[in-house]
Amino acid sequence: MFHASKISVRVRMEVAILCFLCVTPLSHLWSGTTVPTPETHFGFIPGSDRMLFDYQELIAYLKTLDETSPMLKLQTIGTSPEGRPMYIAFISAAENIAALEDLRAINRRLALDPAIPEAKRTELITRGRVFVLATLSMHSGEVGPSQAAPTIAYRLISEKRFAPWLERVVYMMVPCHNPDGMDMVVAHYRKYKGGKWEGSSMPGVYHKYVGHDNNRDFVALTQADTRAIARIYNLEWFPQVMVEKHQMGSLTARYFVPPNHDPIAENIDARLWNWSGIFGSNMMKDMTEAGLAGISQHYLFDDYWPGSFFYHHFTLATASDPPTGSIDINSCFF
């Protein structure tokens, strides 16, 4: 059940590559930054009790960042089943954003050409960047990741300590995998806010055709939004790392981080499987240091089902789930 009335926090977000670092205050900002804060734009701190923004409001903020910062570029990637435009935000050092097409060409060749001479491969790796893709809130009742997207973007382009990371990494964020469902869920919450049914589950499915099962469409690719996401890693950008952000239920473990439990599909490269464990171990270590409890691994989710997004030959793909209930949206980017 979605409990918007219980979402609490002062939002603090991290991006991670290989290791996931602990949280720090929002005070270490670039001097002279001109980008508006999420609180200024929305009129509240995202993650505050009983406050949600809808998809149009989310995209409006990211468009503002695109206009005010050379470190963020917003692009369309397709349309949802109900016709809403879908977006991806690229966040990196300004020189990387300016060279995105060249970096994409390097990534594509490294992913698809097995016959690159060793000297050339080394050159391409040196010139290239690590691409990290995050897709947020595929299941629209799991509101935390998309509600955290403005803070993720703002902190990455505003806090000086992220600059060394963003010189080497291009962070790719799909701010909402299911725009139609996000608007449905937010409209339902707003309709009943302050009344008897505040926080109730929406009496219907939050996807026009497949409901909650949009994460089971990555073999058949029957849905427009699924195809838009799949094109990113299969045809266009070939990220080295992909994280799909969900949100745990309220009755079991508070968090899930990789690795998944057995069985493991036979077409999963052993090196990708081992790296998922390294990522998950670093996530658990840093989450524990940050005071978060109830973290699970090897639990609930197997790595066998071929219909989910996990199964790529080129990409280390994982899912992580922050908690439902009283949550620190900081957890949405561990």
Domains defined along the chain, listed by start: 4-20+30-333 (3.40.630.10)
Give this prediction's pTM.
Answer: 0.84
If one compares 328 and 141, the residue with the highest pLDDT of the two is 141
Q: Measured on CA atoms in the order 48, 134, 211, 1, is the torsion positive or negative?
A: negative
Kindly compute the dihedral angle of the four CA atoms of residues 205, 206, 211, 212, in this order, to the nearest 10 degrees.
-110
Average pLDDT, the chain: 82
Helix boundaries (H) for 43-162: 55-68, 94-98, 100-112, 118-127, 144-158
Q: How confident is the model at residue 275 (pLDDT cuts 50, 70, 90)?
A: confident
Place of tokens 């080497």: 168
> What is the b/e burial string over 167-184, where b = at least 16 CB atoms within 10 angstroms of the residue's CB?
eebbbbbbbbbbbbbbbb
| Number of CB atoms found within 10 A of residue 28's CB | 12
If one compares 94 and 8, the residue with the highest pLDDT of the two is 94
pLDDT of residue 16: 34
pLDDT at position 259 over 90: no
pLDDT of residue 108: 95
86: which strand partners? 78
- Calculate mean pLDDT across residues 166-189: 94
pLDDT of residue 322: 62
pLDDT of residue 319: 59
Place of tokens 């073999």: 219
As given in the structure block, the two tokens for residue 261 are 């439990």
pLDDT at position 210 over 60: yes
Return d(Cα 109, Cα 103) in angstroms, integer: 10
